[in-house]
Amino acid sequence: MRPDDLVIEIGPGQGAMTGLLAERAAQIVAVELDSVLARNLAGQFADTRNVEVLRADVLDVDMAAICRSHDAAAAFVFGNLPYYITSPILHHLLEAPDCIRALACVVQLEVAERIAAKPGTRAYGYLSVAAQFHSLPRLRFRIPPGAFSPAPAVMSALVTFDMLSNRASREESRRRAFLDFAKESFAQKRKTLANNLAAKYGSDRVRDTLRALGVKEDARAEELGVADITKLFRELA
């Protein structure tokens, strides 16, 4: 986070982090769904000129509109994400690479490990590819349950995402087509890529393309990095 940042905070709750963020950044927009918490936050920070409380569901928030309203090219997003909707929120944020320069999110440790997983590991899957297609994610540190009140039943972790600006220039239709392709590739992890993609592209064509790319023809999706999946998509789609 930089001193001149516009920070969009997701789920500020009782404002413990909001005040700390306000001391370190130019402007904070705290997005809170709970009406009681949002009202309390508005009162708590009424005299803090660089804090704005927005009562809204983050999944409905237009990140680009917030940036425009604050005359910012892009925002830094911080959030302690609700575990039950972590994936939808992450996808919503990652789909706005033109107006978000970086993210720092607290998520369940298992999800953090999936986000940052390397090809060939058990945790590597579609979420890994989606995150790594849009950004450079890093698992920074683990957080024990006792750090929260009330304490969750699981470990958490802080993950940072440095957005890849070159993704913003991609045509939206092609970007979505790639993500659909990646999802199909991981549809059934025990199956080979050729079997997962057979219905749409034909198993022989997939095998031939993999062979031409220097990948074994019975490879599974979890064996391929984002760059290889991208190459396969370009050849097949």
pLDDT per residue as tens digits for the range 163-196:
986 554 456 778 889 999 999 999 988 899 999 9
Q: How far apart are CA 72 and CA 29, in angstroms?
A: 12
- Greatest distance between any 2 Cα atoms in the chain: 66
Q: Tell me the two tokens of residue 102.
A: 């970086």
Indicate whether 88 pLDDT > 70. Answer: yes
Mean pLDDT of 57-67: 94
For the chain, what's the residue count?
237
- For the chain, the average pLDDT equals 91
C-alpha span between 72 and 53 (Å, rounded): 17
Amino acid residing at 163: M
Confidence of residue 219 (pLDDT cuts 50, 70, 90): very high
* Single pTM value for the model: 0.86
pLDDT the model gives residue 171: 67
Residue 127: pLDDT over 70: yes
> CB–CB of 8/99 below 8 Å?
no
pLDDT of 149 above 70 = yes
Give percent of the chain above pLDDT 90.
78
* pLDDT value of position 97: 77
Domains of the chain: 6-168 (3.40.50.150), 172-236 (1.10.8.100)
pLDDT at 169: 44
30-60 per-position pLDDT tens digit: 999 999 999 999 999 999 999 999 999 999 9
The residues, any chain, with a CB within 8 Å of residue 196's CB and separated by 6 or more, are: 184, 185, 186, 187, 188, 221
HEC letters along 73-125:
CCEEEEEECCHHHHHHHHHHHHCCCCCEEEEEEEEEHHHHHHHCCCCCCCCCC
Q: Give the pLDDT score at 151.
A: 81
Token pair for residue 163?
């957005």
Report, as an integer, the average pLDDT of 199-208.
Answer: 91
